[in-house]
Amino acid sequence: MSASPDQRAFEADVDKAAFRLGQLERRWHLLSIKWPFVYISITAKDGTEFDFRFECTDYPRTEPTGGPWDLQRDAVLAAERWPQGNGGRVSAVFRLDWEAGRALYHPCDRVSIRGHQNWLTEMPALIWRPADGIVQYLEQVHELLHSKDYLPRIHAAA
């Protein structure tokens, strides 16, 4: 069975230099594609890798939607393992009380942009741009995970 046009468009985007550069710089890496879901790990400033599941139906014309994912359980990541913020943008975007954790509260997300038409004028740089593709979404999440607001995870002593 051949890939759908939206899957072929996604695969073409991950073959582009911008996506490959992000992988080489260890900002993110593609884990797997189980269309219409794609699994990508994004690295935080403390070295923690957060796995994300993105639903990409009608890509790139329609924004992906997604959030932190537990690959072992094939479910939304447990609350205590989500990225934490210090009350700023990280806390605002990584909200378990929004869509039960299946979508980030972010202008680049398909689910979140619905009902937030004010974001089009308030945050135009964060609105999905089909020509930029998945790299735009990944760069924005990576930036949050490297911001001053991101609280590094506390690792238990060995």
Where in the sequence numbering do the catalytic residues fall? Answer: 108
Q: Which helix (H) or strand (E) holds 151?
A: strand 150-151
SS3 assignment, position 10: helix
**49-55/37-43 β-pairing:** antiparallel
One DSSP character per residue, 63-129 reads --EEEEEETTTTEEPPGGGS-EESSSHHHHHS-TTSGGGTS-SSTTSHHHHTT-TTHHHH-GGGS--
Q: Which residue from 62, 61, 68, 74 is spatially nearest to 90, judged by alpha carbons?
A: 68
User: Residue 36, preceding bond cis, omega within 30 degrees?
Assistant: yes
